[in-house]
Structure 1
Amino acid sequence: MPFIDILIFAVIAVFLIFRLRSILGNRDGFEKPKKTVQTESSADNIINFKGKTPVAESAPLNGSGLKELRKLDASFKDEEFLSGAKAAFPLILNAYSESDLGSLRRYVGFDLYEEFSNAVHQRDAAGEHLKIDIETVNDVQLLDAEISDGIATVTVKYDTIQSRILTDASDTVIEEDSISSEQIEDIWIFERDIRSTDPNWRLVETGTAEPE
């Protein structure tokens, strides 16, 4: 899939291993967003948008909404971005659940990597194992965008059916921190400096929303 060569994602949420159920169950390290996400009307495993050119420094670099992002960054294409975001979703979740910090480093920024790394080390030290199975991807959609001083953020919602099983050192399922074939709506926010020639988007925040 060509778009898997496009996105380096990075996550900024508070990722505590003791809260898998509330986000990816309770203790896999993702946390709910601290504010409601508003919808706009309307091997290196990197997703790489080729041929991107930086936005001219003289252009206005502040705005709100996907329409404004398209205007400020002509290289931003909805379908292209969504294809890459959809491909990156299982890569990031699997890297986290498998304690693959090397791969996570390619997808996430420094701050979020530290959060992930701490959660992974705590889980491994406790002898626990996390398995995430994305059974069905019902929908992936763009919700909103913001541009501030040339830094663009795009909010994406993933509607999926997932199983997330956490086991202890004796391979016993920790029931209160595990889910089976449940609908989950993940909210992920990606970031990129549109003035840069670097085409990569970084995941900077994650959370969940209640399914409608």
Structure 2
Amino acid sequence: MFYVVLLAMVAAFLALRLYSVLGRRSGHEQPLPKPAEERVAAATLPRTIDMASEPREPALRAFDTGAEAGLRQIVQAEPGFDVARFIEGSKAAYRMVLEAFWRGDEAALRELALPEVEAAFAQAIEARRAAGHTLDNRLVSIERVRIASASVVNGEARITVRFDADIAAVTRDAEGQVIAGSTSDAVETHDVWTFVRTLRSPDPNWLLADTDEA
């Protein structure tokens, strides 16, 4: 059964697995979840990253049409799954993974990603260290999050999410001098990440399975 993230727990569990952002049920859900059709069709995307607030403007559909069938499969397999809450959790996961990579925290990345993805991160971190470089990056804002596709294959759920964000990216040398990027300008980024989880597994963790640019 899926769990729902608690806003108050996000900061305390930033070093934990994706369970902390795509998991953890609050205990305040309705005893009987809405039918799968209602929860998928009614899913909306808040305009801000405040997980406690409701959208103040007309909500946006949170997923592409092509993702609907896969989301219905996931909801039917695990009725506790909620599309809107998954999107809120994916935004927190996006920040966690980026910040862990930027600071070179390989231990945190191992808890957040599949081995092959973590290995790619580790290789990039090692190359950065060998060059004597450090990243002084900052996630300025997440402008838009949308589920691009969803599927269930052999009992494994896969959800691909597009993140449109503004990032201030700065690379410094061993002396701390800026050699690339800007401390004052943010760059528009468009990332497409895929998260996976075995349905009906006692392990509630979603793991990062793939990263790409849109």
TM-score by length of 1: 0.67
Aligned to 1:142, the other structure's residue is in SS state strand
- Mapped pair 1:99 → 2:108: no
Whole-angstrom CA distance in 2 between matches of 1:110 and 1:3:
26
Deviations along 1:172-201, one digit per CA (max 9) or x if unpaired, are 3333xx363121111110000003111110
- CA 1:160–1:103 in structure 2 vs 1: closer, same or farther (change >3 Å)? same
Deviations along 1:67-126, one digit per CA (max 9) or x if unpaired, are 232223322211221111111211111111101112212212222222211211111111
- Using CA pairs under 8 Å that are at least 6 residues apart, name the structure with larger relative contact order, 1 or 2: 1
Whole-angstrom CA distance in 1 between matches of 2:175 and 2:207:
36
Matches within 5 A, 1:132-151: 132-151=137-156
- CA 1:186–1:119 in structure 2 vs 1: closer, same or farther (change >3 Å)? same
Whole-angstrom CA distance in 2 between matches of 1:92 and 1:200:
14
Whole-angstrom CA distance in 2 between matches of 1:66 and 1:132:
33
Equivalent AA in structure 2 for residue 108 of structure 1: A
Q: How far is the alpha carbon of 1:46 from its aligned partner?
A: 5.5
- Mapped pair 1:49 → 2:58: no
Aligned to 1:174, the other structure's residue is in SS state strand
Q: Which runs of 5+ in 2 are unaligned?
A: 1-6, 28-67
Which residue in 2 is equivalent to 1:26?
A: none
**Is the contact between residue 3 and residue 87 of structure 1 (CA under 8 Å) also seen in structure 2?**
no
Whole-angstrom CA distance in 2 between matches of 1:191 and 1:2:
25
Equivalent AA in structure 2 for residue 127 of structure 1: G
Equivalent AA in structure 1 for residue 151 of structure 2: E
Whole-angstrom CA distance in 2 between matches of 1:114 and 1:149:
25
Whole-angstrom CA distance in 1 between matches of 2:76 and 2:112:
27
**Is the contact between residue 3 and residue 84 of structure 1 (CA under 8 Å) also seen in structure 2?**
no
Whole-angstrom CA distance in 1 between matches of 2:205 and 2:134:
31
Aligned to 1:197, the other structure's residue is in SS state coil
Q: Which runs of 5+ in 1 are unaligned?
A: 10-43, 52-62
